[in-house]
Amino acid sequence: MEKRNAKRGPRRRLNRVVVPRPSQHRFYGHGLPGVDTDRLAGKLIVVEGADGSGRSTQLAQLVDWLEGSGHATVQVGLKRSTLVSEELEQAQQGNILSHRTLSLFYATDFADQLENIMLPAMKAGRMVLADRYIYTLMARDMARGINPAWIKNIYGIALVPDAVFYLNVSADTLVERNIAKNAKLDYWESGMDIGLSRDLFESFMKYQGQIQSIFRKLQRTYKFSSLDGERSVGQIQKEMREKVAKVLTR
Ligand SMILES: Nc1ncnc2c1ncn2[C@@H]1O[C@H](COP(=O)(O)OP(=O)(O)O)[C@@H](O)[C@H]1O
Ligand SMILES: [Mg+2]
Protein backbone atom coordinates (compact mmCIF):
# COMPACT_ATOMS: atom_id res chain seq x y z
CA MET A 1 0.00 0.00 0.00
CA GLU A 2 1.30 3.37 -0.97
CA LYS A 3 1.20 6.07 1.68
CA ARG A 4 -0.06 9.33 0.39
CA ASN A 5 2.31 12.28 0.48
CA ALA A 6 0.95 14.68 3.13
CA LYS A 7 2.44 17.69 1.38
CA ARG A 8 0.23 17.12 -1.64
CA GLY A 9 -2.80 17.67 0.52
CA PRO A 10 -6.10 15.89 0.05
CA ARG A 11 -6.48 13.87 -3.10
CA ARG A 12 -8.01 15.92 -5.87
CA ARG A 13 -11.61 15.07 -6.49
CA LEU A 14 -12.00 12.71 -9.35
CA ASN A 15 -12.83 14.43 -12.56
CA ARG A 16 -16.43 13.68 -13.56
CA VAL A 17 -15.45 12.63 -17.03
CA VAL A 18 -13.05 9.74 -17.27
CA VAL A 19 -11.09 9.69 -20.51
CA PRO A 20 -9.24 6.43 -21.03
CA ARG A 21 -5.75 6.27 -22.44
CA PRO A 22 -5.50 5.82 -26.21
CA SER A 23 -5.41 2.14 -26.99
CA GLN A 24 -4.71 -0.03 -29.97
CA HIS A 25 -7.42 -0.11 -32.57
CA ARG A 26 -7.44 -1.39 -36.09
CA PHE A 27 -9.71 -1.83 -39.06
CA TYR A 28 -10.80 -5.22 -40.38
CA GLY A 29 -9.48 -4.36 -43.82
CA HIS A 30 -8.65 -1.23 -45.75
CA GLY A 31 -10.50 0.99 -43.26
CA LEU A 32 -11.34 4.62 -43.85
CA PRO A 33 -8.66 6.75 -45.48
CA GLY A 34 -6.90 9.33 -43.34
CA VAL A 35 -7.98 7.89 -40.01
CA ASP A 36 -5.27 7.38 -37.44
CA THR A 37 -6.47 4.49 -35.30
CA ASP A 38 -3.76 5.17 -32.69
CA ARG A 39 -5.54 8.29 -31.58
CA LEU A 40 -8.76 6.64 -30.54
CA ALA A 41 -9.08 6.80 -26.79
CA GLY A 42 -12.70 5.65 -26.56
CA LYS A 43 -13.89 2.07 -26.81
CA LEU A 44 -16.32 0.44 -29.15
CA ILE A 45 -18.77 -1.98 -27.57
CA VAL A 46 -21.20 -3.87 -29.76
CA VAL A 47 -24.35 -5.77 -28.84
CA GLU A 48 -25.69 -8.14 -31.47
CA GLY A 49 -28.77 -10.34 -31.51
CA ALA A 50 -32.13 -10.80 -33.19
CA ASP A 51 -35.20 -8.62 -32.61
CA GLY A 52 -36.38 -9.41 -29.11
CA SER A 53 -33.04 -10.80 -27.95
CA GLY A 54 -32.76 -8.01 -25.38
CA ARG A 55 -30.25 -5.64 -26.99
CA SER A 56 -32.09 -2.43 -26.04
CA THR A 57 -32.63 -3.66 -22.50
CA GLN A 58 -28.96 -4.53 -22.00
CA LEU A 59 -27.65 -1.41 -23.73
CA ALA A 60 -29.77 0.89 -21.58
CA GLN A 61 -28.28 -0.67 -18.44
CA LEU A 62 -24.76 -0.53 -19.82
CA VAL A 63 -25.19 3.17 -20.59
CA ASP A 64 -26.45 3.84 -17.03
CA TRP A 65 -23.51 2.02 -15.56
CA LEU A 66 -20.88 3.64 -17.79
CA GLU A 67 -22.29 7.15 -17.40
CA GLY A 68 -22.57 6.59 -13.67
CA SER A 69 -18.88 5.80 -13.51
CA GLY A 70 -17.98 8.93 -15.44
CA HIS A 71 -17.73 7.70 -19.01
CA ALA A 72 -19.40 9.72 -21.72
CA THR A 73 -21.30 7.46 -24.10
CA VAL A 74 -22.63 7.68 -27.62
CA GLN A 75 -25.12 5.24 -29.09
CA VAL A 76 -25.32 4.12 -32.68
CA GLY A 77 -27.33 1.51 -34.53
CA LEU A 78 -28.27 0.36 -37.99
CA LYS A 79 -30.30 2.55 -40.33
CA ARG A 80 -29.78 5.66 -38.23
CA SER A 81 -27.55 7.61 -40.56
CA THR A 82 -29.10 10.87 -41.66
CA LEU A 83 -27.49 10.29 -45.03
CA VAL A 84 -29.56 7.33 -46.20
CA SER A 85 -31.97 6.15 -43.51
CA GLU A 86 -35.02 7.77 -45.13
CA GLU A 87 -34.13 6.39 -48.52
CA LEU A 88 -33.62 2.96 -46.97
CA GLU A 89 -37.03 3.13 -45.35
CA GLN A 90 -38.63 4.06 -48.64
CA ALA A 91 -36.78 1.42 -50.59
CA GLN A 92 -37.97 -1.23 -48.16
CA GLN A 93 -41.62 -0.20 -48.52
CA GLY A 94 -41.80 -1.62 -51.99
CA ASN A 95 -39.70 -4.69 -52.57
CA ILE A 96 -37.95 -2.96 -55.40
CA LEU A 97 -34.24 -3.18 -54.79
CA SER A 98 -32.02 -6.14 -55.51
CA HIS A 99 -30.32 -7.76 -52.53
CA ARG A 100 -27.01 -6.34 -53.54
CA THR A 101 -28.33 -2.79 -53.89
CA LEU A 102 -30.06 -2.98 -50.52
CA SER A 103 -26.84 -4.31 -49.08
CA LEU A 104 -24.96 -1.29 -50.43
CA PHE A 105 -27.54 1.02 -48.90
CA TYR A 106 -26.87 -0.52 -45.50
CA ALA A 107 -23.13 -0.35 -46.02
CA THR A 108 -23.41 3.35 -46.89
CA ASP A 109 -25.47 3.97 -43.76
CA PHE A 110 -22.82 2.18 -41.73
CA ALA A 111 -19.88 4.03 -43.32
CA ASP A 112 -21.57 7.37 -42.71
CA GLN A 113 -22.09 6.67 -39.02
CA LEU A 114 -18.58 5.29 -38.67
CA GLU A 115 -16.99 8.38 -40.15
CA ASN A 116 -19.24 11.06 -38.68
CA ILE A 117 -20.27 9.69 -35.31
CA MET A 118 -18.28 6.71 -34.09
CA LEU A 119 -14.72 7.73 -34.95
CA PRO A 120 -15.05 11.37 -33.79
CA ALA A 121 -16.63 10.17 -30.53
CA MET A 122 -13.82 7.69 -29.94
CA LYS A 123 -11.20 10.33 -30.69
CA ALA A 124 -12.80 12.39 -27.93
CA GLY A 125 -12.52 9.45 -25.54
CA ARG A 126 -16.16 8.47 -25.54
CA MET A 127 -17.60 5.00 -25.23
CA VAL A 128 -19.46 4.08 -28.37
CA LEU A 129 -22.27 1.58 -27.84
CA ALA A 130 -23.53 -0.01 -31.00
CA ASP A 131 -26.96 -1.64 -31.19
CA ARG A 132 -25.90 -4.10 -33.90
CA TYR A 133 -22.88 -3.80 -36.15
CA ILE A 134 -21.53 -5.24 -39.38
CA TYR A 135 -22.14 -8.85 -38.28
CA THR A 136 -25.93 -8.48 -38.63
CA LEU A 137 -25.44 -6.88 -42.02
CA MET A 138 -23.09 -9.65 -43.10
CA ALA A 139 -25.42 -12.37 -41.82
CA ARG A 140 -28.39 -10.87 -43.66
CA ASP A 141 -26.36 -10.66 -46.87
CA MET A 142 -25.12 -14.22 -46.49
CA ALA A 143 -28.67 -15.50 -45.94
CA ARG A 144 -29.50 -13.85 -49.26
CA GLY A 145 -26.76 -15.59 -51.15
CA ILE A 146 -24.43 -12.66 -51.62
CA ASN A 147 -20.82 -13.62 -52.19
CA PRO A 148 -19.03 -13.73 -48.79
CA ALA A 149 -15.77 -12.39 -50.24
CA TRP A 150 -17.61 -9.37 -51.61
CA ILE A 151 -19.28 -8.79 -48.24
CA LYS A 152 -16.01 -9.14 -46.36
CA ASN A 153 -14.35 -6.63 -48.64
CA ILE A 154 -17.14 -4.08 -48.19
CA TYR A 155 -16.93 -4.28 -44.41
CA GLY A 156 -13.16 -3.99 -44.44
CA ILE A 157 -13.94 -0.35 -43.65
CA ALA A 158 -15.17 -1.33 -40.19
CA LEU A 159 -13.27 -0.77 -36.99
CA VAL A 160 -12.57 -3.88 -34.91
CA PRO A 161 -14.65 -3.41 -31.74
CA ASP A 162 -13.21 -3.70 -28.22
CA ALA A 163 -16.01 -6.06 -27.25
CA VAL A 164 -18.81 -7.79 -29.12
CA PHE A 165 -21.66 -9.50 -27.29
CA TYR A 166 -24.01 -11.75 -29.17
CA LEU A 167 -27.25 -12.42 -27.32
CA ASN A 168 -28.10 -15.98 -28.18
CA VAL A 169 -31.83 -16.59 -27.85
CA SER A 170 -33.90 -19.37 -29.41
CA ALA A 171 -36.41 -18.50 -32.12
CA ASP A 172 -39.23 -19.69 -29.83
CA THR A 173 -38.23 -17.26 -27.10
CA LEU A 174 -37.92 -14.46 -29.65
CA VAL A 175 -41.49 -15.07 -30.77
CA GLU A 176 -42.72 -15.18 -27.16
CA ARG A 177 -41.02 -11.92 -26.28
CA ASN A 178 -42.24 -10.16 -29.40
CA ILE A 179 -45.81 -11.27 -28.68
CA ALA A 180 -45.49 -10.16 -25.04
CA LYS A 181 -44.26 -6.79 -26.28
CA ASN A 182 -47.17 -6.66 -28.72
CA ALA A 183 -44.68 -6.25 -31.53
CA LYS A 184 -45.55 -7.66 -34.92
CA LEU A 185 -42.96 -9.91 -36.46
CA ASP A 186 -41.00 -7.73 -38.84
CA TYR A 187 -41.19 -8.53 -42.56
CA TRP A 188 -37.43 -8.31 -43.04
CA GLU A 189 -36.52 -9.96 -39.74
CA SER A 190 -38.71 -12.81 -40.89
CA GLY A 191 -36.89 -13.08 -44.20
CA MET A 192 -40.17 -12.72 -46.10
CA ASP A 193 -38.28 -11.23 -49.02
CA ILE A 194 -36.49 -14.50 -49.72
CA GLY A 195 -39.59 -16.64 -49.92
CA LEU A 196 -38.91 -19.26 -47.24
CA SER A 197 -42.64 -19.45 -46.60
CA ARG A 198 -45.73 -17.36 -47.29
CA ASP A 199 -46.61 -17.61 -43.63
CA LEU A 200 -44.91 -14.87 -41.59
CA PHE A 201 -44.49 -17.00 -38.49
CA GLU A 202 -43.10 -20.00 -40.34
CA SER A 203 -40.78 -17.78 -42.34
CA PHE A 204 -39.56 -16.09 -39.13
CA MET A 205 -38.70 -19.44 -37.52
CA LYS A 206 -36.81 -20.66 -40.59
CA TYR A 207 -35.03 -17.39 -41.23
CA GLN A 208 -33.95 -16.90 -37.62
CA GLY A 209 -32.63 -20.45 -37.63
CA GLN A 210 -30.51 -19.64 -40.68
CA ILE A 211 -29.28 -16.39 -39.17
CA GLN A 212 -28.32 -18.20 -35.97
CA SER A 213 -26.22 -20.75 -37.81
CA ILE A 214 -24.56 -17.98 -39.83
CA PHE A 215 -23.77 -16.19 -36.56
CA ARG A 216 -22.13 -19.34 -35.21
CA LYS A 217 -19.86 -19.29 -38.26
CA LEU A 218 -19.16 -15.58 -37.96
CA GLN A 219 -18.36 -16.06 -34.31
CA ARG A 220 -15.52 -18.40 -35.15
CA THR A 221 -14.03 -15.83 -37.53
CA TYR A 222 -14.67 -12.70 -35.53
CA LYS A 223 -14.32 -14.17 -32.04
CA PHE A 224 -17.15 -12.48 -30.23
CA SER A 225 -18.68 -13.40 -26.90
CA SER A 226 -21.81 -15.42 -27.30
CA LEU A 227 -24.00 -14.90 -24.23
CA ASP A 228 -26.90 -17.08 -23.18
CA GLY A 229 -29.65 -14.50 -23.70
CA GLU A 230 -32.33 -16.69 -22.10
CA ARG A 231 -31.09 -15.88 -18.61
CA SER A 232 -32.46 -13.03 -16.50
CA VAL A 233 -31.71 -9.45 -17.52
CA GLY A 234 -29.57 -9.03 -14.40
CA GLN A 235 -27.47 -12.14 -14.98
CA ILE A 236 -26.69 -11.13 -18.55
CA GLN A 237 -25.89 -7.57 -17.50
CA LYS A 238 -23.53 -8.78 -14.81
CA GLU A 239 -21.54 -10.82 -17.32
CA MET A 240 -21.41 -7.90 -19.74
CA ARG A 241 -20.18 -5.47 -17.10
CA GLU A 242 -17.44 -7.84 -16.02
CA LYS A 243 -16.25 -8.11 -19.60
CA VAL A 244 -16.54 -4.39 -20.31
CA ALA A 245 -14.65 -3.58 -17.10
CA LYS A 246 -11.67 -5.52 -18.46
CA VAL A 247 -11.84 -3.62 -21.73
CA LEU A 248 -11.86 -0.28 -19.90
CA THR A 249 -8.50 -0.91 -18.26
CA ARG A 250 -6.83 -2.13 -21.42
N1 LIG B 1 -33.29 -11.52 -20.33
C2 LIG B 1 -34.60 -11.31 -20.59
N3 LIG B 1 -35.53 -12.15 -20.11
C4 LIG B 1 -36.85 -11.95 -20.37
N5 LIG B 1 -37.34 -10.93 -21.10
C6 LIG B 1 -36.46 -10.05 -21.61
C7 LIG B 1 -35.04 -10.21 -21.39
N8 LIG B 1 -34.42 -9.19 -22.02
C9 LIG B 1 -35.38 -8.46 -22.60
N10 LIG B 1 -36.61 -8.96 -22.35
C11 LIG B 1 -37.91 -8.46 -22.86
O12 LIG B 1 -38.01 -8.87 -24.21
C13 LIG B 1 -38.53 -7.81 -25.01
C14 LIG B 1 -37.50 -7.44 -26.09
O15 LIG B 1 -36.39 -6.84 -25.46
P16 LIG B 1 -35.58 -5.67 -26.17
O17 LIG B 1 -34.52 -5.24 -25.23
O18 LIG B 1 -36.52 -4.63 -26.69
O19 LIG B 1 -34.95 -6.48 -27.38
P20 LIG B 1 -34.28 -5.98 -28.75
O21 LIG B 1 -33.83 -4.58 -28.54
O22 LIG B 1 -33.14 -6.93 -28.95
O23 LIG B 1 -35.32 -6.13 -29.80
C24 LIG B 1 -38.86 -6.68 -24.06
O25 LIG B 1 -40.22 -6.75 -23.74
C26 LIG B 1 -37.98 -6.94 -22.85
O27 LIG B 1 -38.55 -6.46 -21.68
MG1 LIG C 1 -34.19 -2.81 -29.60
> Of 48, 51, 57, which is best to mutate to test ligand 1, by the most ligand atoms within 8 angstroms of its C-beta?
57
Give the predicted TM-score (pTM) of the model. 0.88
Residue from 63, 132, 177, 211 to probe ligand 1 pocket by mutation (most atoms less than 8 Å from CB): 177
Q: Ligand 1: which residue has its CA nearest to atom 8?
A: 54
pLDDT digits 0-9 by tens, 198-209: 999 999 999 999
All residues at 6 or more sequence positions from 24 whose CB lies less than 8 Å from its CB, including other chains: 37, 38
Ligand whose nearest atom lies closest to the CA of 58: 1
Is the Cα torsion angle 49, 54, 60, 66 positive or negative in sign?
A: negative
Which residue, by CA, sits nearest to atom 15 of ligand 1? 54
Ligand 1 pocket, CB under 6 A: 49, 51-57, 177, 180-181, 232-233, 236
Amino acid 206: pLDDT: 95
The domains located in the chain, with CATH, are: 26-169+225-248 (3.40.50.300)
Collapse the DSSP code of 155 into the 3-class scheme (helix H, G, I; strand E, B; otherwise coil) and give the result: helix
pLDDT tens for each residue of 75-84? 999 876 666 6
